[in-house]
Amino acid sequence: MTLISREEIKTLLEQPRQNSVSIYMPTQLAGPEVRQNSIRFKNLIKEAEARLIDAGLEQNDVIELLAKSDQLDDSNFWEQNVDQGLAVFISRDIFRYYTLPLTFDELVVVTDRFHIKPLLRILNGDGRFYLLALSQKDVRFFEGTRYSIKELKVENMPKSLDEALNYDDTAQQGQFRIATSKGGTANASVQPGSFHGQGSPDRDQHQKDILQFFQVVNHALEEKLREQTAPLLLAGVEYLMPLYTEANTYQHLIEEGITGNQEILSAQELHERAWPIVEPHYHKSQQEVVERFNELFGGNTGKASNELKEIIPAAYYQRIDSLLVATSQQQWGLFDPTSETVYLHQEEETGDEDLLDFAAAHTLLNGGTVYAVEAEQVPFSTPVAAIYRY
C-alpha cells in the first residue's frame, strides 16, 4: 500500500490519455463480512469489463487490461490489508491501489484518464501538514494528513546541533564554528565559518548557537517547501519554539506547537497531538474560501462562478484559484477545448466523463486549491463553486 499524497494524485492525472479504469468501493474490516470484499470487487471488475467493451475494446484486450486486478484475488489481502475504503486504478501502463481510511460509495469510471475526485478529501479538510520535531540531539521532519504521518528526508538538513557544529583544532580551547556546506544558511549575512564563540555555559551564547543551527535547518527546509502552502507545526521543548520561529522563513508556520521532549515520542504519538492543532486551520481555510466566494459572487465582480459551463473552460485554461466541489455527485458530459463548448447529459453516455472531476483535476494540476466537500457545504447548493485568478 502507498499512502496517497498530492504528488501521487498528480502522477495519476499526468499519465498519457488511454483507457483508464477507476474503481472505488467500501470495505469491511473484520468479521464474516470480510469475505464480501472479494465478491464485491469481482463484481466491480465485471462492470468495468462491460464498460470497456461498450467503449469499443475487443474482448481479449479487455481481459489483458484487467488481468492486473488478479493481484488482489487473494484472501490474505482482504483479511490483512484493507481499511475503510479501496481505490484501484488500472490502465495499460499503471496498476495502483490504495486502502484508505475513507468510506467510498461504489463507483466504476471508465474514461481516458483516472477519476480522482473521491480521493481529494485526503488533501483538504482531511488536510496535509508538515511537522518539524526539534531538539538539540535529533531533528525530524514529517508529512502528515488527518489519517497518517510519515518521516521525510531533507537534503542538507543537519540532524543535530553536534552535526551542525564543525569542530576544529581549537575545540579543546572551547571554540567552534557552524558548518554550512552545500548552500550556506538562511541568513545572507551569515557566511560559512563566520560564527565563532567561546564554549562557556553562558545562556545567551548557547541560544545564539541554537539559533544559527535552526537557521541552517530552515535553509534546508526552504528548498524542500518551495511553493508549498501546507501548514508547518513545531514540536519540541518550550524554549526552542521562539528560537526556531525567529529563524523561520516559511510563511505557513502555525503559532501553536507541541511542547515537550519530542525525542521520546513516536511518529504516531506526534500525529495524535498534531492533528487537533492543525484541524481548525483547515476548517478556517475552507470557511474563508466560502466567505470570499460569497463576497465576490454577490458583488458581480466576474471573479466567482457556480455555473459549470463557465467553470470547466476556466479550469482547463488555468484560471481557477480555489474550487469547492461536491464529492458525492457526478455531472456527466463532455468538453470540447477547440470550441470551449461544454455538453451536459442527464445520464452517463459512452465517452462521457464526470465534469466535476474534470474541474477538480485541472484545478489541482494547474496549482489551484480544491476543497472536496459534502454537497451542502458548497454555496447555494450547487455542485461546484469557483474563485477565479483573474
pLDDT in tens, 121-173: 877 655 679 999 999 999 999 998 877 788 999 999 999 988 887 643 333 33
**Predicted pLDDT of residue 68:** 93
Strand 140-144, strand 149-151: pairing: antiparallel
Q: What is the end-to-end Cα distance of the chain in Å, rounded?
A: 40
Phi, psi of 189 (to 5 degrees): -80, -10
Span 114-119, average pLDDT:
95
Q: Which domains are delineated in the chain?
A: 6-115 (no CATH), 129-280 (3.30.420), 302-388 (3.30.1330.30)
| Torsion of Cα atoms, 361 then 367 then 372 then 375, to 10° | -80
| Cell numbers representing residue 309 in the block | 459551463
Residue that has been written with the C-alpha cell 459549470 in this structure: 308
Q: CA 289, 291, 295: angle at the middle one, nearest 5? A: 115
Percent above pLDDT 90 for the chain: 64
Taking residues 316-332, report their average pLDDT.
95
What does the pLDDT average to over 27-48?
86
Cβ contacts of 241 within 8 Å, gap of 6 or more: 234, 257, 259
Residues 193 and 145 sit within 8 Å (Cβ to Cβ): no
What contacts 162, CB < 8 A, 6 or more positions away? Answer: 136, 137
Percent share of the chain, pLDDT over 70? 88
Tens digit of each residue's pLDDT (9 = 90 or more) over 239-265 = 999 999 999 999 999 999 999 999 999
What's the mean pLDDT when you consider all of the chain?
86
For residue range 276-303, list pLDDT tens digits in order: 999 888 788 889 999 999 999 999 899 9
For 26, phi then psi, to 5°, come to -75, 155
Beta bridge partners of 25: 86
H-run or E-run covering 232: strand 232-236
